[in-house]
Amino acid sequence: MDMRTVEKIEYGSASAVRVPPDAISDLDISERFIAFDTETTGLNPDKDCIVELGAAVFERGVPTETFQSYVNPGIRISKEVSVLNHITNEVLQAAPKEEIIYPEFMKFLGAAAEGEIMICGHVAAFDLSFLCRTLDRLGITANFYFVDTRQLATQFPELTHHSLAAVAEYFHVPHEHAHQAKEDALTSGRILCKMIERNRNM
């Protein structure tokens, strides 16, 4: 499944719906939104798990609150993935378990879990598919609406590559710590702010 094009994610009690790019201008996301990112044990939300959660609340273009936590999902992380995100099994063993950290994370998300505040991310459907799968497994209800900075980046014809690093460079957004959930969330949020500003000035 190509997470760049998924429109809706649904796992029992938890769902996420993509907002079409042409509808974004009608939303007041310049006031407040939450940027979100994860690190996972693999690419399949049905068998892999989140090992790091990162998020940032943006208000009027400025990050005002952040959240970061490693997560002990009860499964091991492979050496190949650990090399990529620098998260080891030793780190995960000391991290809070899912049933401890997710209620805390949901408090941080607040009204975003009820679709009242927009979520943003780069290939956001990937991260939200893992989040929704986990929340359903834990019996937590949530309904998210999201925008994808990668999808939005395709509307800029001069941008020929759409990775988070490439888009960050184009918009002059610092991106020094790739594959760290909070840092990637902050990068995605700052990119969205630049996109909103660019569209406002056009």
Q: What is the pLDDT of residues 118-167, one digit of tens each?
A: 999 999 999 999 999 999 999 999 999 999 999 999 999 999 999 999 99
Task: Specify the DSSP element, H or E, that contains 64.
Answer: strand 62-70
Predicted TM-score (pTM) of the model is: 0.94
Residue-level length of the chain = 202
Helix (H, G, I), strand (E, B) or coil at 191: helix
Helix (H, G, I), strand (E, B) or coil at 63: strand
In the predicted model, is pLDDT for residue 24 greater than 90? no
CA atoms of 201 and 74, how far apart (whole Å): 48
Radius of gyration of the chain (CA): 16
Instruction: Return the minimum-mean-pLDDT range out of 17-21, 24-28, 126-130.
Output: 24-28
161, 132 contact by CB (below 8 A):
no
3-state per-residue secondary structure call for 119-177: EEECCHHHHHHHHHHHHHHCCCCEEEEEEEHHHHHCCCCCCCCCCHHHHHHHCCCCCCC
In the predicted model, is pLDDT for residue 26 greater than 70? no
CATH superfamily for 8-201 is Ribonuclease H-like superfamily/Ribonuclease H (3.30.420.10)
Cα 30 off chain centre by: 17
A 10 A CB-CB count for 25 gives 10
The whole-number pLDDT of residue 201 equals 63
| Amino acid in position 129 | S
The two three-digit tokens of residue 39, written as one number: 């690190």
21, 157 contact by CB (below 8 A):
no
Strand partners, 16: 9, 144
CA angle 169, 147, 51 (to 5 degrees): 80
Q: Domain spans of the chain?
A: 8-201
Distances (CA, A) of 190 to 41, 44, 46, 169: 26, 27, 30, 12
- At residue 81 the predicted structure's pLDDT band, cuts being 50, 70 and 90, is very high
The whole-number pLDDT of residue 25 equals 61
Task: Specify the DSSP element, H or E, that contains 15.
Answer: strand 14-18
